[in-house]
Amino acid sequence: MRILHTMIRSGNLERSIDFYSKVLGMTLLRQHDYPEGKFTLAFLGYGKECEQAVIELTYNWGVDHYDIGTGYGHIAIEVDDAFAACEKIKELGGKVIREAGVMKGGNKVIAFVSDPDGYMIELIGKSA
């Protein structure tokens, strides 16, 4: 068994695809409209779906936002350098919620950014 994908809902699919591809550097792997169900799915990731888990963006036609709720935590992405990643994300118009720094009570360097719909993404610096 393996994890295939994490699904999150998008209020504006084009904006979300731009964020995950242009700001976070993922590749749009596939996208398909489902007219009978009135939704579109887009899958993005850092590699092939057959090799890695990916993000599934679900856009329900006509719905422009969602309440995230208190159950959602975050998506974690490993980066070479969390400080540099934050600077690059800001340059590309992304929103840094917590600047890079050592996590409380630990020794890993982390940061948090928000996608256009408010989903939190944790950046974790590679350990030396």
Question: Does residue 81 lie within any of the structural domains?
Answer: yes
Q: Which residues pair with 101 in a beta bridge?
A: 110
User: 79 and 55 share a domain?
Assistant: no
Average pLDDT, the chain: 94
Q: Is residue 68 part of a domain?
A: no
The answer to whether position 70 is within a domain reads no
Residue 69 in any domain: the answer is: no
Active site residue 122: yes
Indicate if 84 and 118 belong to the same structural domain: yes
CATH of the domain at 115: 3.10.180.10
pLDDT tens-digit profile of 76-86? 999 999 999 99
Q: Which of 14, 49, 78, 122 is catalytic?
A: 122
- 96, part of any domain: yes
Q: Residue 38: which of 63, 16, 66, 56 has the closest Cα?
A: 63
pTM for the complete prediction? 0.87
Nearest to 110 by CA among 73, 68, 82: 82
pLDDT of residue 70: 82
Domain co-membership, 46 together with 9: yes
* pLDDT confidence of residue 118: 95
Q: Does position 128 have pLDDT exceeding 60, yes or no?
A: no
